[in-house]
Amino acid sequence: MHNKKLRRAGVESKICEILKHHHIETCEDLLSLTPLEVMRLAGQSYYQSLQLLKSVSQACAPKIITAQQLWSQRRDLCFSTSLTELDRLLQGGLPRGTITEVTGPSGCGKSQMCMMLSVLATLPCSMGGLDSGVIYIDTESAFSAERLLEMAQSRFPDYFSVPERLLETAGRVHLFKELTCQEVLTRLERLEEDIISCGAGLVILDSVASVVRKEFDTSLSGNLTQRSNLLGRQAATLKYLAQEFRMPVVVTNQITTHLSERAASSSLSRRWNATEVPGGEAEGDSGYVTAALGNTWSHNVNTRLIVQYLDAQLRQVSHGAVAQPLLNQLEY
């Protein structure tokens, strides 16, 4: 990955320091130089410069893995959601190394689910957790530490009866509030170091849609392309991080209505009416509701989970593009 720091690419710290003075810090920075420039800036011989460029190029190139290796790793590749039925549907839990999107109407509990997953990630492996830190990128100022601890205590009363454990969990969830598209992108592109320093085993972006939809009016010409490019960069970075650290990455998305497609029974859409979506008056009486951010974005996510209302207390979580028969009920 081009954003990888030179230190992480195995470059000697002495050379990293020299290059840093010339603002050469990432693999991309170095690989943009000619061997002669590397010679001059890093004080290396021509042969050493060629070797340096070669080793950095190899370090940031995607690793080859065989299908057999992937198959044998499959059991380690899931992070349990602690919901038996959902885990069964996902064949073990949220897949590591890929992006899982949680989408659904406003207020249905996507952020609550993210906070719950944060608690789970901090639990010991013997309890199905990852025994790791969490990076939580909050674009809506929706994160609540109080709520996180409340959920932890109510789901695992025995484990969290020890106050130190509660504090430890709270200390392992690292919150980054990023309120503009540029801030989110910059954070993602620097996240590799944060993941290492926080010992993170889970990255959450809640939500990918809110800032993008606020800043890009796609009815204006050119904005759609710009938005797709931005989302493409965000997704590519998240995918790289997921794969590099073999971790689950969770993003939340909003929903949108396509009235013009009412007649179509598209596999990407689901007909919800106002009684199913409390507070969903923006969706109208019988709009076709689908995840926001369009088709291009939908190809960036590997797993899509749809949360929807059953009643005031209960939520249904479905897997895939179309809402399936009842799979799981969440109670908050």
Ligand X SMILES: Nc1ncnc2c1ncn2[C@@H]1O[C@H](COP(=O)(O)OP(=O)(O)OP(=O)(O)O)[C@@H](O)[C@H]1O
Given the rule CB under 6 A, which residues bind ligand X? 104, 106-112, 140, 142, 147, 150, 254, 332
Q: Which is nearer to ligand X, 110 or 227 (CB)?
A: 110
Question: Do you find a cis peptide bond into 141, omega within 30 degrees of 0?
Answer: no
State which residue has the least CB distance to Mg ion.
Answer: 111
Shortest separation between residue 210's beta carbon and ligand X, angstroms:
7
Q: Which is nearer to Mg ion, 123 or 205 (CB)?
A: 205
106 binds, among Mg ion, ligand X, none (CB under 5 to 8 A by kind): ligand X
Measured between alpha carbons, how far is 216 from 234 in angstroms, rounded to an integer? 15
Q: Which is nearer to ligand X, 91 or 313 (CB)?
A: 313
187 binds, among ligand X, Mg ion, none (CB under 5 to 8 A by kind): none
The interface region with Mg ion, picked from 25-33, 137-145, 163-171, 211-219 by CB under 5 A, is: 137-145
129 binds, among Mg ion, ligand X, none (CB under 5 to 8 A by kind): none
Measured between alpha carbons, how far is 257 from 250 in angstroms, rounded to an integer? 23
Shortest separation between residue 272's beta carbon and ligand X, angstroms:
14
Measured between alpha carbons, how far is 175 from 290 in angstroms, rounded to an integer? 29
147 binds, among ligand X, Mg ion, none (CB under 5 to 8 A by kind): ligand X
Neighbours of 2 (CB within 10 A): 15
Shortest separation between residue 106's beta carbon and ligand X, angstroms:
4
Q: Are strands 314-319 and 303-309 parallel, antiparallel or unpaired?
A: antiparallel
Q: Which is nearer to ligand X, 112 or 316 (CB)?
A: 112
Would you count residue 59 as binding Mg ion (CB under 5 A)?
A: no
112 binds, among ligand X, Mg ion, none (CB under 5 to 8 A by kind): ligand X
Helix axes 191-198, 223-244, angle to 10 degrees: 30
Shortest separation between residue 113's beta carbon and Mg ion, angstroms:
9
The answer for residues whose C-beta is within 8 angstroms of residue 42's C-beta and 6 or more apart is: 15, 18, 19, 49, 52
Measured between alpha carbons, how far is 300 from 292 in angstroms, rounded to an integer? 13
Query: Which residue in this structure is represented by tokens 């004080």?
Result: 43
Q: Which is nearer to Mg ion, 49 or 111 (CB)?
A: 111
Q: Which is nearer to Mg ion, 111 or 228 (CB)?
A: 111
Residue ranges in 104-133 that form contacts with Mg ion under rule CB under 5 A: 110-111
Would you count residue 142 as binding Mg ion (CB under 5 A)?
A: yes
As given in the structure block, the two tokens for residue 250 are 């969770």
Neighbours of 315 (CB within 10 A): 20
Neighbours of 24 (CB within 10 A): 22
Measured between alpha carbons, how far is 99 from 251 in angstroms, rounded to an integer? 7
Measured between alpha carbons, how far is 176 from 250 in angstroms, rounded to an integer? 15
Residues at the contact surface with Mg ion, assessed by CB under 5 A: 110-111, 142
